[in-house]
Amino acid sequence: GLVPDFGADRAGVPPGFGKASRVYQAIDALWVGPGVALAQVNAAPTGERVGEDGALSPAALDACLHATLAAMGKPQPGRVHLPVGLESFEQTRAAAGPLFSFIRIRDERGRAGVATADLRIVDAQGAAVADVRGLRVQEVAAAALARGA
């Protein structure tokens, strides 16, 4: 099938993932394994329309990127994951219907606590819709964000 067997279930999924959280309403299902995740994402969540040209909606792209946090695992107590950079993004075909975001962590918290991930977003038939390369996520102190530092 389209869903690979990561040998994992929802164990280790960060709190807040799922329908109970407004932030993650676009994620319909999530599978997690060591350094990998697969998210089934609604292409037009919260009534948003896919662009006439088939462009990913901001909410759908956001959900695809948020699934990266599940692949990274839980941050240390008092810390959060914060996206800090991106090498490239390319949408290669129109988005429609359910999407799947395949996430693989390629660099586990190298220098300065930054992890790097690559994502491939595909449609329900498995055809590539978009590629995200080099999403850099850093673990930072939650208190620093709260005070705006």
SS3 content of the chain, % helix, strand, coil (to 5): 20, 40, 40
Tokens for 142, please give them: 């939650």
Q: Between these two residues, 149 and 98, which has the higher pLDDT value? A: 98
The neighbour count for residue 144, using CB atoms within 10 Å, is 12
Query: In this predicted model, what pLDDT tens digit does every residue of 50-68 receive, in sequence order?
Result: 566 788 888 888 888 888 9
Nearest-angstrom CA–CA distance, 83 and 79: 13
**132 touches 86 (CB < 8 A):** yes
pLDDT band at 33 (very low <50, low <70, confident <90, very high): confident
- C-alpha distances in angstroms, 148 versus 78, 79, 85, 104? 15, 14, 19, 30
Contact 86, 118 (CB under 8 A): no
89-131 pLDDT, tens per residue?
Answer: 999 998 877 899 999 998 766 666 788 999 999 998 999 999 9
Per the model's pLDDT, the better-predicted residue between 22 and 125 turns out to be 125
Rounded to the nearest 5°, which phi and psi values hold at 46?
50, 35
